[in-house]
Structure 1
Amino acid sequence: MVAFDIDRKFGGEESDDVEDVELLKRKINRLTKEVKRLKSELEYWKGEVNKLTNPPLIEATLLDVLPDGRAVVKSSAGPVLVVEVSSRVPKELLKPGISVAVNQRGSTVVDVLKGLEDPYVKAMEVVERPKTRYSDVGGLKQQLEEVREVVELPLKNPEMFKEIGIEPLKGVLLYGPPGCGKTLIARAVAGEVGATFIRVVGSELVNKFIGEGARIVREVFNMARKKAPSIIFIDEIDAIAAKRIEMGTSGEREVQRTLMQLLAELDGFDPLSGVAVIAATNRLDILDPAILRPGRFDRIIYIPPPDKKGRLEILQIHTRNMRMADDVDLEKIAEMTEGATGADLKAIVTEAGYNALRNKRKYVTMEDFLAAVDKVMRKRAGASYRLSPREGAPIQIHTM
């Protein structure tokens, strides 16, 4: 009896020791994993500290590689430098014209920047297609067909031009009074044609730094070539393409440099295959003759104010989703609005809708339209008008 109790006692102690050993092993495994995680976290934070303490790199353009292995680069800050090349950079990647990263402290090329695009130029690409379609353009059927021949046809069917043996036209220039549909046509082309659409405003190409405007023009056309088929739309091109003068300020000379780069891109050594250019201006009379010659803008299309038929088409487009009373006569409104542009007609439709809202109605009446015509046309002409109740036509009372 006593021996049995002793065996049970010692046997119980041995079981407890085994459990303690297993528990310690589990703790060691857990602590080992924790140490590994903490070491990984420590390495991460060391890397972050190095990133914060390392000096920034300078983006530069590689101009040439010298026989001794050094490189000639043009820094984005301005000067041309002769620098060393890090042994980590593969020599076969060093080709003139590429972008490289230069270390500030040692002035050494430490990396090759592949596929680098100027974010300012990249932002000009219209990623989301406009919802405007050709059916949204009224009164400009002939002009729209001419634009489609120059822009859409070469991009969608380039093989047709190869079969005939001619080169497609490079660009089209739209000119005319403000509000007549120049930008609307460009938006319609962007919405219909499945091509990269790059929108540039002429004033965006004017920069206070010497050579910066020309560089932006060059980058825009390079991006268009890379993403061909593509369309470049230059709005208000007269901001950079005005007639050149012999004497002028440094700012005017910089605008002229930008213009010369644009001329070189339109009709230079680098082909514009798969790239179409649309430009718009209100002032054709001040443009430089060099940009108007064939080979640059081959089609110069006048966008006139709409005639009566065109005004009716525009009114029908803008009122197709509008709830109107039976007394609304769009043909009569088109007749009353002689001289109005497409923008004026859109403003008239919008103003008529506001008149209905002011009167707490969910539909628009002819009276709302007459009041809108009176307001918009008076503002446009700079004169006061009143509407004849018998004829419904605007009658001028006095000029401003």
Structure 2
Amino acid sequence: MSDLSDVDRPEVDDDSYLANYVRQLEERIRGLENQRGAIESERDRLERELEDLRSEFEKLKSPPLVAATILDVLPNEKAVVKSSSGPKFLVKVSKFIDEDKIKPGVRVGLNQRTLNVMDVLPSEKDPLVKGMEIEEKPDVSYEDVGGLEKQIREIKETVELPLTNKEAFEKIGVEPPRGILLHGPPGTGKTLLARAVARETDSTFIKLIGSELVQKYIGEGSRMVREMFDLAREKTPSIVFIDEIDAIASKRQSSSTSGDREVQRTMMQFLAKLDGFEPRGDVKILAATNRPDMLDSAILRPGRFDRLIEFPIPSKEERKAIFQIHSRGMALNDDIDFDKLVRKTEGATGADIKAICTEAGMQAIRKEQDKVSEKDFIRATTKVMSGENTDMPGIMFG
């Protein structure tokens, strides 16, 4: 029985006092019932937590799984697998695994005792492959590319059209190029245009530098090439852009070191994957180089990189268009004569012109101006074209 010593008892025998006493007892009962409900809720929570801990403990007690790869899927929930140690086994697939996930090439976990398939593992990829520059939808469009009308037309025909209108190629009976090589001096817009076509085709843009495929140990570069193509297929539709491809595709020499031979093995793996690649697949391979004369003839033969698109130094009209693109978001004075700036930037690339616009803005900020004047552009042009460092540390334009 509850302790009611703290409840005021009536001192006289009166109906009003008795009613008050009963009301106090009822309030105490309600308080105790609420307290009991809270204790029961806490007990239920602790029981659930205990069950979770028991389940986790049982998982920790279970033997580790053996990594394996499915080679073939058979009826009656069976599969042929190859374990990480090498042997092949005919095993049973757990009924708790979705059948759609069991396919050849998928990595799975095998019970260490029974070798039954217990879990589906994520695909294995090199950390360098996972760390490639991947853009689901680049923020660059054709309007952001100045002075490359011919190159844009060719890239549309060789990259965009096969991805957006496959039926046209099937109707005519021709196959689009497997690989497209963009070549020209640095800063002429090769990467920019590759990103733009990825956006226009709603494709994932995957970029890596050719030198990243040059690895220290034998076979590492070849494995990265295979995983790169696997990643591209997973991200379809996708565009793989390999910058500085001459790092792995330079001309082979009669006398070479072990390092050169490993680079050649990487190139052979790349060519093999390119040869076996489905030409009408939703993956396009683009590469760029500043030195096409250094490339091995094997990579330029028909069926591989059989379409070459040149990116020359921009002409006067193209430089003016590039100036207008990079300055369209800037606050400018009305006195700016872009024709004068074009005459002062003979031999400049698109990257140089972008640097000039940035430096002109820095000049205006330094002088606390509200708008960028023509004098700011002239000073910036002199500074950038002479190869001087800008005010941004660690960066040189020239």
CA distance in 2, matches of 1:356, 1:250: 54
C-alpha displacement at 1:230, in angstroms? 2.2
**Is 1:118 matched with 2:125?**
yes
Counterpart position of 2:86? 80
C-alpha displacement of 1:247: 4.8
CA-CA distance at 1:122 after TM superposition: 4.8
Aligned to 1:60: 68
**CA 32–356 in structure 1, closer or farther in 2 if over 3 Å, else same:** closer
Q: What is residue 148 of structure 1 aligned with on the other side? A: 156
Shift of the alpha carbon at 1:292?
0.9
Structure 1 residues 321 and 31: alpha-carbon distance in aligned structure 2, compared to 1, 3 A threshold: closer
Are 2:183 and 2:310, in contact at CA under 8 Å, matched by a contact in 1?
yes
Change (3 A) 1:26 1:214: same
Measured against aligned partners, the alpha-carbon deviations of 1:278-305 in whole angstroms (never above 9, x if no partner) come to: 1111121221211111111121111111
- 1:21-74 CA-to-partner distances (Å, cap 9, x unmatched) read 9999999887776555433211211333455566654543345799xx996625
1:214 pairs with 2:222: yes
Contact in 1 for aligned 2:110/2:119 (Cα 8 Å)? no
1:165 is matched with 173
* Cα offsets for 1:105-125 (capped at 9, x unmatched): 659454352663637445547
Q: Percent identity?
A: 52
Aligned with 2:305: secondary structure?
A: coil
Q: What do the CA deviations read for 1:141-188 (whole angstroms, capped 9, x no partner)?
A: 101111111010111111111111111222211011111111111121
- Note if contact 2:137-2:204 (Cα within 8 Å) is conserved in structure 1: no
Q: Secondary structure at the match of 2:288?
A: strand
- Partner of 1:374, secondary structure, is helix
Is 1:177 the counterpart of 2:147? The answer is no
Whole-Å Cα distance in 2 between the matches of residues 257 and 86 of structure 1? 38
Report the alpha carbon displacement of residue 222 of structure 1 after superposing the two structures with TM.
2.8
Quickly say closer, same or farther: Cα 1:376–1:163, change in 2 above 3 A.
Answer: same
One of 299, 304, 309 as aligned partner of 1:296: 304
Shift of the 160–82 alpha-carbon distance from structure 1 to 2, 3 Å rule, reads closer
Distance of 1:171 and 1:271 partners within structure 2: 9
- The amino acid of 2:237's aligned partner reads P
Residue 353 to residue 22, structure 1, CA distance change in 2 (3 Å): closer
Q: 1:253 aligns with which of 261, 269, 283?
A: 261
Task: State the 1:226 CA deviation.
Answer: 4.2
Residue aligning to 1:310: 318
Amino acid at match of 1:174: L
Per the alignment, residue 338 of structure 1 pairs with 346
Query: Does the 8 A contact of 2:175 with 2:279 survive in 1?
Result: no
Name the CA distance, whole Å, in 1 between partners of 2:253 and 2:110.
40
Is 1:365 matched up with 2:373?
yes
What is the distance in 2 between the residues matched to 1:72 and 1:110? Answer: 9
**Alpha-carbon distance between aligned partners in 1 of 2:234 and 2:79, rounded to the nearest angstrom:** 30
* Partner SS, residue 295 of structure 1: coil
Closer/same/farther in 2, CA of residues 304 and 22 from structure 1, 3 Å limit: closer
Query: Offset of 1:206 from its aligned partner?
Result: 2.8
Q: Is the 8 A contact 1:58 1:101 kept in 2?
A: yes
Partner of 1:391: none
Give 1:148's aligned amino acid: K
Specify the alignment match of 2:233 in structure 1: 225
Does 2:297 match 1:284? no
Q: Indicate if the aligned counterparts of 2:79 and 2:93 stay in contact, CA closer than 8 A.
A: no
Give the TM-score normalised by structure 2.
0.77
Residues 1:309 and 1:36: Cα distance change in structure 2 (over 3 Å) = same
**Preserved contact between residue 151 and residue 171 of structure 1 (Cα < 8 Å):** no
Cα distance between partner residues in 1 of 2:237 and 2:73: 34
- Structure 1 window deviating more from structure 2 (45-54 vs 304-313): it is 45-54
Between Structure 1 and Structure 2, how many residues are aligned? 358
Instruction: Provide structure 2 residue ranges, at least 5 long, that are not aligned to the other structure.
Output: 1-27, 389-398
CA spacing shift, 1:260–1:119, aligned 2, 3 Å:
closer
1:84-111 CA distances to partner (integer Å, 9 max, x unpaired)?
Answer: 8467478x887653312246x6594543
**TM-score, normalised with respect to structure 1:** 0.76
Please name the residue that 1:395 is paired with: none
Distance 2:48 2:120 in 1: 29
Q: Does 1:240 align with 2:251?
A: no
Q: What corresponds to 1:325 in structure 2?
A: 333
Cα distance between partner residues in 2 of 1:223 and 1:209: 22
Gaps of 5+ in 1: 1-19, 381-400
Q: Aligned pair 1:198/2:206, yes or no?
A: yes
- RMSD over aligned CA atoms reads 3.6
Letter in 1 for 2:82: V
Could you tell me which amino acid in structure 1 is paired with residue 228 of structure 2? V
1:316 CA displacement:
1.0
Mapped to 2, the partners of 1:61 and 1:95 lie a distance apart of 9
Change beyond 3 A, Cα 1:188–1:96: closer
CA distance, structure 2, for counterparts of residue 24 and residue 321 of structure 1: 70
**Take 1:348 and 1:30, find their aligned partners in 2: how far apart are those partners?**
70
1:101 match: 109
* AA at the equivalent of 2:309: I
CA distance in 2, matches of 1:109, 1:125: 38
Instruction: Give yes or no for the alignment of 1:264 onto 2:275.
Output: no
